[in-house]
Structure 1
Amino acid sequence: MKWNQLPLGPLQTNCYILSNDEQECIIFDPGEESAKLIQYIQTRKLKPLAVLLTHAHFDHIGALDQVREFFKIPAYIHEKEAKWLLDPALNGSQLFPGEPIRLKPADHILAAETELQIGSFSFKLFETPGHSPGSISYYLEEKGMVFSGDVLFKGSIGRTDLPGGNHDQLMKSIHSKLLSLPEDTIVLSGHGPVTTIADEMESNPFLNGF
């Protein structure tokens, strides 16, 4: 199983493509630049099965409709942010320059910490609110990696000054859900470079003293 990081849009939001030996793939957070993302997938002859959203802020969902319509695949999101796809005030797009984002509803609503099976891909879902109410981290236990969205970054943590943000809740999510994972777990964040749980436990200044 392989993963590739594809920063998209002016905020360089990380879209991740997780693929298996059969060339099937899962798309995480198609934030913008749909043509670039579609070409990337086609060039590598990948066969997308689904789009998984870590949360519904505008910079993580901008290319969602184009991508899922092109490949005829479903999108998954947490129930607490299902309405955000349709509402620029909730997804934050009306607060920033550019066109307000109004998307179609998600195809599947996630409502609990459970195991999600899509083809040969198996994820454990962690509810990790704080950056946003419906933030989800997708843990691929067999490969020791977690797609954490904007919860935890290399040397930093997610912002909590947007609607629905809560700093104490974010810190609780990080410590109880992410830092409890094996220390060699790879953290694939929504922005910036990849890191590990061990590195963040050792050197992330925002986690000291919590």
Structure 2
Amino acid sequence: MLQFKIIPVTPFQQNCTIFWCDETMQAAVIDPGGDIELILAEVDKLKVDVVKVLLTHAHIDHAGATHALASHFNIAIEGPHKEDQFWIDLIEEQKDRFGFAHAEAFTTDRWLDQGDKVTFGNLELEVYFCPGHTPGHVVFFHRESKLAQVGDVLFSGSIGRTDFPRGDHPRLIKSIRENLFPLGNDVKFIPGHGPMSTFGQERQSNPFVADHLV
């Protein structure tokens, strides 16, 4: 069964998340944006075996500690989609602009796309390509638990910004309504920032993507 722990990191309070299999204790860290000491302390506390880093997208608050974490455990990096390569290339510039003490560019071991699967322990996550906030944003979904890690695509009561380079508001709305909402109203999701919600709740009341707006 899937277990998870949310660890807010960086001044942006980004929801870095540890997903793990409670049968094997193998784990993946999703979106290690920074504060690697906090992530490592939680890994030790949970007594999990981290075997992968997974990325929804490559903004610095989601990917800044990717290189450090992958090097520490000598593990593979999977994600995001290849269209986010340019954001990876800009991590050093982002570091200076946003005042991050430590952040390094990295080379992903596996780009992800719609329909791909990510596995660790006895768990399988489905990958959904959801561009708009960034051109290479992906979402991870564990069907058995009805739980999604959606990064900065969707939030409780809001959606991701699209005023960054290569952001695309219409594509973001399309990603949410055509790729995420069909997964089910009862699906809970972990956003990149802020509290969890469900797709059903957002379909009812989100001022950007609610059903009554269509």
Comparing 61-70 with 107-116, greater Cα deviation is found at: 107-116
CA distance in 2 between partners of 1:93 and 1:166 (Å): 24
What CA RMSD, in Å, does the superposition of the two structures yield over aligned residues?
1.8
CA distance in 1 between partners of 2:90 and 2:102 (Å): 8
Output the amino acid matched with 1:126. Y
CA distance in 2 between partners of 1:124 and 1:50 (Å): 15
Q: Which residue of 1 aligns with 2:83?
A: 80
What is the CA deviation profile of residues 30-74 of structure 1, one whole-angstrom value per residue up to 9, with x for unaligned ones? 011001111110122110110110000011011111111111111
Deviation at 1:92, TM superposition (A): 4.2
Output the amino acid matched with 1:3. F
Comparing 135-144 with 92-101, greater Cα deviation is found at: 92-101
Q: Check conservation: 1:94, 1:100, Cα contact below 8 A.
A: no
Q: Check conservation: 2:27, 2:121, Cα contact below 8 A.
A: no
Deviation at 1:82, TM superposition (A): 3.0
5+ residue gaps, structure 2: none
Q: Higher relative contact order by CA 8 Å / sep ≥ 6: 1 or 2?
A: 2
5+ residue gaps, structure 1: none
Which aligned runs of 4 or more in structure 1 are off by greater than 6 angstroms?
none
CA distance in 2 between partners of 1:70 and 1:92 (Å): 22
Q: Which residue of 2 aligns with 1:8?
A: 9
Q: Check conservation: 1:86, 1:101, Cα contact below 8 A.
A: no
CA distance in 1 between partners of 2:147 and 2:4 (Å): 10
Output the amino acid matched with 2:84. E
SS at match of 2:39: helix
1:132 aligns with 2:147: no
Deviation at 1:108, TM superposition (A): 1.5
Q: Check conservation: 1:51, 1:76, Cα contact below 8 A.
A: yes
CA distance in 2 between partners of 1:80 and 1:146 (Å): 21
SS at match of 1:81: helix
SS at match of 2:38: helix
Using the size of structure 1 for normalisation, the TM-score is: 0.93
Output the amino acid matched with 1:41. V
* Cα distance, 1:100–1:84 mapped onto 2, change above 3 Å: farther
What is the CA deviation profile of residues 114-141 of structure 1, one whole-angstrom value per residue up to 9, with x for unaligned ones? 2233342211111000000000011111
CA distance in 1 between partners of 2:136 and 2:153 (Å): 11
Q: Check conservation: 2:65, 2:104, Cα contact below 8 A.
A: no
Report matched runs for 1:64-143 at 5 Å. 64-77=66-79, 78-88=81-91, 92-98=94-100, 101-143=103-145
* Cα distance, 1:83–1:76 mapped onto 2, change above 3 Å: farther
Q: Which residue of 2 aligns with 1:46?
A: 48
Q: Check conservation: 1:58, 1:101, Cα contact below 8 A.
A: yes
Comparing 176-185 with 108-117, greater Cα deviation is found at: 108-117
CA distance in 2 between partners of 1:115 and 1:100 (Å): 30
Using the size of structure 2 for normalisation, the TM-score is: 0.91
Q: Percent identity?
A: 33
CA distance in 2 between partners of 1:17 and 1:117 (Å): 14
